[in-house]
Amino acid sequence: MPLIGALPQPIASAPAITSAPLVLFIYLVLILLLVTALTSAVVRNTVWAIGSFASSMALLALLFLTIAPFLLFAVQLVIYTTISGGLLLGVLRQTTGLERPPSIPFNRTWIAGGAIAAAVGSLLLLVVAATNWPVDLLQRGVLSLPHPFVQTLLDTYAVGLATLVVLMGSAALGTVLLLAMPWTARKGRELPAVGRGPRRSPS
């Protein structure tokens, strides 16, 4: 029987991942994640930066698929990546404006993006074909509800979840209030500089 006030004991350490395809996949995802993150931080074009950012968040979701419960992968991929990419593109449209893509649909940018997407997709297909790894995860994640992870969230972290709901609700409310707030342009910007000041008589 545990003593009153005794600290909970940590669980035993899990061994490192040794399955060769999975290890290779993890290394590849980590390298691509860092490269896209660095690209996002360095590149001057904001649209490219946002694209790299969304890619790195999708790669992070893939990383979570390998070492975390399926729910975290789903949240990261569906909610975080979609919302963050959409929000940042929306910010650009509201501010500096996004230019329409050129009339030729298959210019160099589209071809490069398609090639990168095809390479990543074929790599994923290769891993799926060579191992049984994501199928097994999907079966455990979707078919065995309620998942232990969800049970832990509901049982152990109920207060945290409630706090999170309040936090997200207040963030949404704050965002709506900020965007609905009437705004006034600065005085110096309302009128052209030429027409201001007392009128002088022509000499």
Site for another protein in 143-182 (CB under 8 A): 148-149, 152-153, 156-157, 160, 164, 167-168, 171-172, 174-175, 178-179, 181
Out of 104, 183, 198, 200, name the contact with another protein by CB under 8 A: 183
The residues, any chain, with a CB within 8 Å of residue 133's CB and separated by 6 or more, are: 19, 21, 22, 66, 127
- CA 185-186-192 angle, to 5 degrees, is 95
Q: Return the number of the residue (46 or 131) whose C-beta is nearest another protein.
A: 46
* d(C-alpha 90, C-alpha 149), whole Å: 33
- Whole-number Å distance between alpha carbons of 195 and 119: 59
Work out whether 114 is an interface residue with another protein (CB under 8 A).
no
Residue from the set 2, 5, 10, 202 that interacts with another protein by CB under 8 A: 10
Residue from 78, 87, 111, 138 touching another protein (CB under 8 A): that is: 87
Reported as type and span, the H/E element at residue 29 is helix 20-42
Size of the site for another protein (CB under 8 A): 72
Q: Which stretch binds another protein (CB under 8 A): 59-67, 104-112, 115-123, 124-132?
A: 59-67
64 near another protein, rule: CB under 8 A: yes
**What is the rounded (10 degree) CA torsion for 127, 130, 133, 134?**
50
Indicate whether 56 belongs to the interface with another protein (CB under 8 A): yes
Least spacing, CB of residue 96 vs another protein, in Å = 7
Q: What are the tokens at 140? A: 């455990």
Looking at beta carbons only, is 74 or 120 nearer to another protein? Answer: 74
In angstroms, the Cα distances linking 30 to 12, 19, 80 are 26, 16, 18
Which residue, 133 or 149, is less far from another protein as judged by CB? Answer: 149
Q: Which of 1, 3, 6, 14 binds another protein (CB under 8 A)?
A: 14
